[in-house]
Structure 1
Amino acid sequence: MKRKLLGLAVAALLPLSAQAQQTSVSQDELDSVMEQVRQLQQQVKALQAKLEQQQSSDDTEPSSKPDPDKHTIDRVSVSSQERREFIDARLGELEEEVKDAQNPPIRVGGAVRFQYVYADYDADNRDRAGDLDFDLVRIDFNGEINDVILAAQYRWFQYMEAVQKAYVGYNFTDHWQGQVGIINVPYGNIPYNSHNYFFSSNFYVGLEDNPESGINFQYRSKDWDWDIGFMKGDEQGGVDGFVDSRADRYAYDAVGIRLDGEGIYDAPSLQVAKSNYWAVRGARKFHFADGDKLELGLSTQIGDLHDGNDSVGDREVYGAHARFNSGPWELMGMVSRYDFDTDVANQGIVTGAYAYFDTMPSAATLYTANVAYDLPVNIGPVSALRFYDNFSLMSAKNGLEDDTFMNVLGMAVSAGGLYTYFDIVTAENHPFVGGTMGADGGQTNTRFNINFGYYF
């Protein structure tokens, strides 16, 4: 009887094991593989229980004569034990294969984006009832191998290509992480001081989502955030970096000093770059009984300006930020003051980004105030809506009288891999809205913008 039971159990298990060995663990078949794993586990447990029950019966049942099948039964038991060990080992291998398929060491993703623009300050655009254009293609690499982290993103536009980040990292403890490479400089509300497609005005002076080349030590706990970074220079390698154009970059950065007689959008004749500067950010996080959260923080950046041969001045930045979350609501605020103290007389600082040059004041104060509301929905593929209003103001500009402001009223829509911004932008003296931060006399302009992208 025992031999028959073992034979049936092993015969039932072996085909499943063989099938499991041949199963591909591609993403589409993970559920099938896991079901086989569960079946194998259940049958191994059942076999073990029956063997133990019968072994117990053999030990307690009285026998008056030797059992002629005893040695045969022992041989079958040994064989079944070996097979169970093999099956257990195979189960472990299958589970590891499933985990690897679900969580590959380096995950590759990206996005494809398009944009519709209607601008009241562009007569040709108005005549065409706006324009629909390709925006970008991007590729992302994220993950870790043997505890060493990789994070990188590269973007292709119609008119340029640029790196957004590219760094390696390591978690020294549960709280401390080190990063080296092209990293986003820690400053203020992170990762963004805004909810809309256009960021806040901080982005256009290099104080939001700004990549630089350097090293950062990051501390994260329930109650505290700390970032201590040292930046060698910008993501292009400074003034003597091997690039076609210093304006081909993802985020705005200082690339020159605007001398007398140069136009607002001219390439700089005196090129400069940020060099050897410290970036320190600290934030205290408060958690309340009803689930509300409050973050208050301070940030600073202090360092050198270099023309490739010599230092031509220094740069200081100070900021205070706040973020409050209550249920679906999020409120953010920030104040920043920056100052480029140069050794030469100037009409401002030349900035470069998105394949063109612009000008910003050498010193100014910026204020931002943002509110957003998240609404989960179930409308076909649409799963979430975010409504927001983001306001930015730049004042106390060195050498200029007129302020810069930008208000973005909008909605973001999540639908599967598709994420879409609907923005109404009202601004004065602001880049991308018919103006510049580096001159007086701008008009108030309006831009209706739809940016939709598929993220994978």
Structure 2
Amino acid sequence: MNASTRACALAIGIAAALAAPYAAASGTTGQKNDKPSRQADMTARIRAMQKQIDRLQKQLDDMRAQQAATQQQSSDTRKKLDTLAEDSKKTQAKVAKVEKKKKNGITVGGAMRFQYSYEDYNKSNVHRTGDADFDIFRLNFRGKVDDIELQAEWRWFQYMSAVKYAWLGYDFSKHQQLQVGLTRIPFGNQPYNSHNYFFSSNYYLGLEDTYHMGVEYVYSGDPWNVQLAFFKNDGMGGIDGYVSNRSDSYSYNVVGVRGAGEGIYDDPQHPIASANTAAARVAYTFTPNDDLKVELGASGLHGGLEGPASSVGSYSAYALHMNTTYKRWNLQAQASRYDYNVDGGGDLLAVGAYAFYDSIPAKADSYTFNVKYHQPVRWGPIKGLDFYNDYSLITNKSGMLPSTFMNILGVGVSAGDLYTYFDFVTARNQPFIGGSMAGDGKVEHRFNVNFGFYF
């Protein structure tokens, strides 16, 4: 029974108590000899009624007080709930602000690397029992500001500095992104078609981890991965880029056509550059079980070649590739073909990177086959070992040039933020191993240790 119902019941009780004496009095009229006793009885009834009224009044007052206390308690509770709700809103706002700050900001990282090399093709190096050198210091920038992603990497060597990549991205959805700027050409196994420090031979042809200026669409769903890109020119600004030296580049770019009598390491006398290149990469990933993942894909690109005053030809490349992971094993295979068609012909092209010029055949076939095994360990700070063997073959070169091959047997050692490559390289006509893609040399060897701290 609520307070209102109980109050009504009390009121009815009081009214009944008041009416009872009068009803009793009317029942005794006409009895003259009983008048004194009737008066005494009336007085007693009135007093009893008064006590009952006082008792009922007290109960009514108690109920009113209880109702007031309940209302006050309810009001206090509402105030507390309102205060808690307000505090919750403030807390949520603070959390949202912190989360937004985390999402909206640029993170800076980088690496510093050194190396030791023993080169049997360098008599002075052999006499010194190898050389130790500073390799690179780099800074990486990555993050988002107002839904716009930024990624960039700047590298410093002792002999040059270079921007590896620098692009802005926008996510249309969880799996779709548009990138604008200096982005990676979508070609072959990615992010690398190799496991070692020297990459595969494709890198020195501009077909692995190469970056040009343009726009790229990336769909990274499951199981499909699709990349479509258009590049206006190479990362050095093309044929008339505002750079002091077109060889101060991380990526290998075609920079000229070799003429008769021109040396394979000479500055190009007939400059050219790639332009208006369209590229596409499509891959499908099979996952039969939790231990096995197989990515099969195809890549292709086509673009023009520009001279100082006009177009001088076109170029194209295509590849079939596979990247398989089974438990701790990784297997990569790729078959590629590239073709530079220069007006007037030409079997040799000049390329520029790492502050020097080299030469490559205008046409060639490329094959790579790589295998790696990862072994977790607990040897003090050493937590993992990557055993690998990467093999490259460049054959069917234009101009009847001899083939290039490179085999790298090595191990990568992971110790916290320190990663070290131990590579033993056997190669013929391979850049950085005593040869050139346009050379006719003998088999050379190099033992190389590159250790880097990543932050």
In structure 1, the partner of 2:35 is none
Partner SS, residue 288 of structure 1: strand
The answer as to whether partners of 1:259 and 1:345 remain within 8 angstroms in 2 is no
Residue of structure 1 in register with 2:190 after alignment: 190
**C-alpha separation between the residues in 1 aligned to 2:99 and 2:381?**
29
Aligned partner letter, 1:265: Y
Q: List gaps (5 residues or longer) in structure 1.
A: 1-61
Q: Match for 2:342: what amino acid?
A: T
CA distance, structure 2, for counterparts of residue 366 and residue 252 of structure 1: 16
Contact 2:347/2:398 (8 A) holds in 1 = no
Deviations along 1:188-207, one digit per CA (max 9) or x if unpaired, are: 10111001110000000000
- Give the 3-state SS of the residue equivalent to 1:203 in structure 2: helix
Structure-1 separation of matches of 2:284 and 2:62:
77
Unaligned runs of 5+ in 2: 1-60
Q: What is aligned with 1:418?
A: 418
Task: Write the distance in 1 (CA, Å) between the matches of 2:63 and 2:282.
Answer: 83
- Judge conservation of contact 1:260–1:346 (CA < 8 Å) in 2: no
- Per-residue CA deviation, residues 297-321 of structure 1 (Å, 9 max, x unaligned), is 1111111000132111110111111
- Equivalent pair of 2:103/2:144 in contact (CA under 8 Å): no
Check whether the contact 2:183–2:211 (CA below 8 A) recurs between aligned residues. yes
Deviation track 1:275-326 (CA, whole Å, cap 9, x = no partner) reads 0011111112111024311111111111100013211111011111111111
Q: TM-score, normalised by structure 2?
A: 0.83
In structure 2, C-alpha distance between the alignment counterparts of 1:412 and 1:100, rounded to whole Å: 38
CA contact (8 A) 2:401 2:438 kept: no
Q: Is the 8 A contact 2:119 2:125 kept in 1?
A: yes
What residue in structure 2 maps to residue 124 of structure 1? 124
Q: 2:258 — aligned with what?
A: 258
Q: What does 1:89-128 align with in structure 2 at a 5 Å threshold?
A: 89-96=89-96, 98-99=98-99, 103=103, 105-128=105-128
The equivalent of 2:381 in structure 1 is: 381
Q: Which amino acid aligns with 1:269?
A: Q
Aligned-partner Cα distance in 2 for 1:91–1:382: 43
Closer, same or farther in 2 for the Cα pair 1:421/1:97, shift >3 Å?
A: farther
CA distance 1:264–1:153, shift in 2 (3 Å): same
Kept in 1, the 8 Å contact 2:104–2:146? The answer is no
Secondary structure of 1:360's counterpart equals: strand
Equivalent position amino acid for 2:445 in 1: T
Aligned match of 1:133: 133
Letter in 2 for 1:455: Y
Write the letter of the residue equivalent to 1:326: Y
User: Residue type of the partner of 2:179?
Assistant: Q
Q: Which amino acid aligns with 2:443?
A: T
1:177 pairs with 2:146: no
Quick one: which amino acid aligns to residue 66 of structure 1?
A: A
Q: Distance in 2 between matches of 1:448 and 1:101?
A: 47
- 2:303/2:314 contact within 8 Å kept: yes
* CA shift for structure 1 position 159: 0.5
Q: Is the CA contact (8 Å cut-off) linking 2:120 and 2:446 kept in structure 1?
A: yes
Q: CA RMSD in A?
A: 1.9
How much does 1:184 deviate?
0.3
- 1:396 alignment partner AA: N
Counterpart in the other structure of 2:241? 241
SS across alignment from 2:238? coil
Cα displacement (A) at 1:364:
0.6
> Equivalent residue of 1:96, what SS?
helix
Give the distance between the partners of 2:271 and 2:64, measured in 1 at CA: 103
Partner Cα distance (1:359, 1:191) in 2: 25
Q: Is the 8 A contact 1:259 1:347 kept in 2?
A: no
Change in 2 beyond 3 A, CA 1:244/1:339: same
Whether the 8 Å CA contact 1:209–1:251 is kept in 2: the answer is yes
CA contact 1:260–1:347 (8 Å) conserved in 2: no
TM-score of the two chains, using structure 1 as the length reference: 0.82
Instruction: Please say which of residues 160-169 and 75-84 is displaced more in the overlay.
Output: 75-84
Identity of aligned residues (%): 44
- How far apart, in 1, do the equivalents of 2:340 and 2:62 lie? 99
C-alpha distance after superposition, 1:19-68 (max 9, x if no partner)? xxxxxxxxxxxxxxxxxxxxxxxxxxxxxxxxxxxxxxxxxxx9645047
Counterpart Cα distance in 2 of 1:252 and 1:354: 8
What is the total number of aligned residue pairs between the two structures? 394
Which runs of structure 2 are paired with 1:34-433 in the superposition (5 Å)?
A: 64=63, 66-67=65-66, 73=73, 76-77=76-77, 79-96=79-96, 98-99=98-99, 103=103, 105-433=105-433
CA distance in 1, matches of 2:228, 2:308: 26
What is the letter of the counterpart of residue 184 of structure 1? Answer: R
CA offset digits 1:65-98 (Å, max 9, x no partner) = 5047667656654553344234323432443355
Contact 2:347 2:363 in 1 (8 A): no
Q: Which residue of 1 aligns with 2:32?
A: none
Change (3 A) 1:111 1:103: farther
Letter in 1 for 2:124: D
Once residues 299 and 78 of structure 1 are traced to their aligned partners in structure 2, the CA distance between those partners, rounded to angstroms, is 66
Aligned amino acid, residue 136 of structure 2: L
Which secondary structure state, in structure 2, belongs to the residue aligned with residue 195 of structure 1?
coil
Report deviation, 1:101: 6.5
1:65–1:383: structure 2 CA closer, same or farther, 3 Å change rule? Answer: same
Deviation at 1:402, TM superposition (A): 1.4
